[in-house]
A and B are shown apart, each in its own frame.
Chain A
Amino acid sequence: MSNAYYEKIARINLTTGEIKAEPLDLEVAKKFIGGRGLGTKILYDEGVAAVDPLSPDNKLVYITGPMTGSNSPSSGRYMVVTKSPLTGMIACANSGGIWGAKLKFAGWDALIVEGQAPDWCYLNIEDDKIEILDAREYLGVLSEELDDKLKEKHGAECSVLNIGPAGEKQVLLAAVMNDKDRAAGRSGTGAVMGSKKLKAIVVKATRKQLDVIADVDALKEANKACLKIMTDNPLTGAGLRALGTASLVNVINGIGALPTKNWQESYCPTADQFSGETLAEKYLVKPGACFHCPIACGRIIKHDDKVVGGPEYEPLWAYGSDCGNDDLYTIDEANRLCNEYGLDAIGVPCTIAAAMELYQRGFIKEEDCAGVPLEWGSKEALIEWTKRMGDPKTELDWLMSSGSARLCEHYGHPEFSMSVKKQEIPAYDARAIQGIGINYATANCGAAHVRGYMIAPEVLGIPAQLDRTVTDEKAGWAKTFQDLTAAIDSMGTCLFTSFALGAPEYASLLNAATGTNYTPEELLEVGDRIFNIERMFNKAAGMKPEDDRLPKRLLTEPISNGPSKGMVSKLDITLPQYYAARGWVDAFPTDETLKKLGLDECIGK
């Protein structure tokens, strides 16, 4: 019976060269949906939590969800799930483009890559056939160029996922890139690929659409209803297409929550110079869309004589105010370099910002900087240090490419690393927006904004406007957002659809596609289960309760300027409330909670 899965996972051992097709366990798929949930479940069961992330024992799961490749709106997502070398915990980096849909069209729900190749290789997938090919000639090739070369070799209709020089060198901030400018960006998934000597995965599929939908007519109806809601919604119907995520620069600065100079300030008077409005006015060619996406939030920009993927809100902020810079051209160039070298365009600029504070305070000396001092706003520093972090050579290059936590610890000042679980915090000051701090502190992948986007209710008024300055009810909201996000991610649907859709709509899509009969409440419970198995993975990996924290600066240094001046994060109030809402004690689920969620395999662990 059709159920939106091809019921087939490829297990590829790069040490032995063995490739085998394994059946998907449909009972497990029902409990964890796919994508993020199923990927984590596979790694948990196979004992990956205990391994060295950069050893052959780690595994890389490239996984789609049941909706990936379907005709549902914004359904082109795939995820790279592995043990992160940056955080030492679960990594689930989520990306769009078309690569994920093509993997599904080729008939694979997921790839599990194990071991370590004897020499550099890449995978070539053509429907059922998977082969391991020699990649030695591609060593050192930048990501976009490699995409072109592999398309030349295997045909323009294929889709390419790869790592740049950063991943090859196992840089802890290395991303997995696909379709040139899409990234499974965070937590160092590119370094794990590099550790396996796996340079790329090329996918070609004969199929052009999914032919395993459980109820085609019901899905058509559900798609139509969801598309109407999204089209009628001013944000998913028009706002994101017009200005992209970059439109947030002025909003977040307007409320005084735009971290500036490594979070020493939270308001940047010249933010409009690198805003979505200015990006559209000066460089935008057209909006860009991933597979089957009506939102089209991507920015296709003119940069010198090229047309390239432009920066999202996060790199605009991180290479902008966080580094004391307001030159948009420099941000465009630095963002392009992140794509070319295969780097996390949040982690890299945030680490440069931390290094600039270390330089400001005299801990990094001018003579350490090999001719490019880490001065606030230096355009040369932003460009040159991005290149150095993408292809490190000196001791400081390597330290910086390992992220701000390791960098600042090296200099004896961990307090200047604005990170959680060693992953850099995204672009919203948690002192000015109380609920987002809960998510930063508790996200299983380390600091993240896309594990429960509390900015929606606290700033954008979606689905209701909450007072950003208070803690009331934020713990419950954060949990619900985290659970719904886990379900959406696992379906293979883009999280941005949730600006318009809610749990009832997602349940209708999933039920039609897979033949399940989830109520909205049950779908949220699946999300809860997924969030908890991630947490149990982290526990097995050695996570401690004190890892659920925020940097001292956010708790004890009041915001120094702008509309939110004087505010601090009140995580001491919200975190216990959050644990109570989750059924956790000291950061971990009780056996009773695990039992309730059907996670019997985790009880007593």
Chain B
Amino acid sequence: MIEVRFFATLRTDRGKITQVPAEEVSTAGDLLRRFEIPAEEVAILLINGFHSKPEDAVKDGDVISLFPPVGGG
């Protein structure tokens, strides 16, 4: 399974966390499409804690974190 974590406004109607069978997706972009999130709404996409792009591959056991524009100091 792949674990997808949603943050900030991306939680609206999606909840905080969900699991996706690994065989149903091959890239992070597939996950965005699955959850109907336009790529431009994602400011930070982490795969296992490292900045990644929608075209990057995902595999069983990965944790994907999706953030809209957030920041501060």
Contact = CB atoms under 8 A, between A and B. Distances in A.
A313 B72 contact: yes
Given A254-B65, A495-B73, A243 B8 contact: yes
Interface string A446-473: 0001100101100111100101110000
B43 A461 contact: yes
Given A251-B7, A277-B8, A312 B72 contact: yes
B7 A248 contact: no
B49 A254 contact: yes
24 contacts: A233-B69, A235-B69, A235-B71, A242-B9, A244-B72, A247-B72, A250-B7, A250-B67, A251-B70, A254-B7, A254-B44, A254-B67, A255-B46, A255-B49, A276-B8, A277-B11, A459-B44, A460-B44, A460-B71, A461-B43, A461-B51, A467-B51, A496-B72, A563-B48
B73 A449 contact: yes
Nearest to B41: A234
A240 B71 contact: yes
Nearest to B47: A563
B54 interface: no
Contacts of A250: 7-8, 65, 67
A238 B5 CA distance: 21
B15 to A, nearest CB: 12
Contact of B73 (A245, A256, A461, A563): A245
Interface string A160-202: 0000000000000000000000000000000000000000000
A246 interface: yes
Interface residues on B, range: 20 to 34
Contact of A563 (B11, B50, B67): B50
Contacts of B69: 233-235, 238-239, 460
Contacts of B72: 240, 244-248, 297, 312-313, 496
B70 A247 contact: yes
Interface string B50-71: 1100000000000001011111
Nearest to B7: A250
A449 B73 CA distance: 7
A520 interface: no
Given A239-B71, A449-B73, A456-B71, A247 B16 contact: no
A495 B51 CA distance: 25
A467 B52 CA distance: 10
Contacts of B51: 255, 461, 465, 467-468
A276 B51 CA distance: 21
A327 interface: no
Interface in A121-147: none
Contact of A251 (B16, B48, B67): B67
Contacts of B48: 563
A505 interface: no
Contacts of A246: 72
B36 to A, nearest CB: 18
A465 B51 CA distance: 9
A243 B70 contact: yes
Given A239-B68, A564-B49, A460 B43 contact: yes
A468 B50 CA distance: 9
Closest 9 CB pairs of A and B: A563-B49, A245-B72, A247-B70, A234-B69, A239-B69, A235-B69, A254-B65, A460-B71, A256-B49
A242 B69 CA distance: 10
Interface residues on A, range: 35 or more
A359 interface: no
Contacts of A414: none
A240 to B, nearest CB: 7
B73 A251 contact: no
A272 interface: yes
A583 interface: no
Contact of B8 (A239, A496, A563): A239
A456 B43 CA distance: 12
Contacts of B44: 251, 254, 459-461
A236 to B, nearest CB: 9
Interface string B21-53: 000000000000000000000011010111100
A251 B65 CA distance: 9
A265 to B, nearest CB: 14
Given A247-B8, A251-B70, A455-B73, 19 more contacts: A235-B71, A239-B69, A240-B71, A242-B9, A243-B8, A244-B72, A251-B7, A251-B67, A254-B7, A255-B46, A256-B49, A276-B8, A277-B7, A461-B51, A462-B71, A467-B51, A495-B73, A499-B71, A564-B49
Nearest to A313: B72
Contacts of A251: 7, 44, 67, 70
Nearest to A450: B73
Nearest to A243: B8
Nearest to A255: B49
Contacts of B67: 250-251, 254
A562 interface: yes
A357 to B, nearest CB: 25
A193 to B, nearest CB: 24
Interface string A468-497: 110000000000000000000000000110
Nearest to B66: A254
A468 B68 CA distance: 19
Contacts of B70: 235, 239, 243, 247-248, 251, 276, 460
Contacts of B68: 234, 239
A327 B44 CA distance: 26
Interface string A494-510: 01100100000000000
A312 B51 CA distance: 24
Interface string A247-275: 11011001110000000000000001000
A313 B73 CA distance: 7
A563 B51 CA distance: 11
A253 to B, nearest CB: 9
A254 B73 CA distance: 16
A480 B25 CA distance: 41
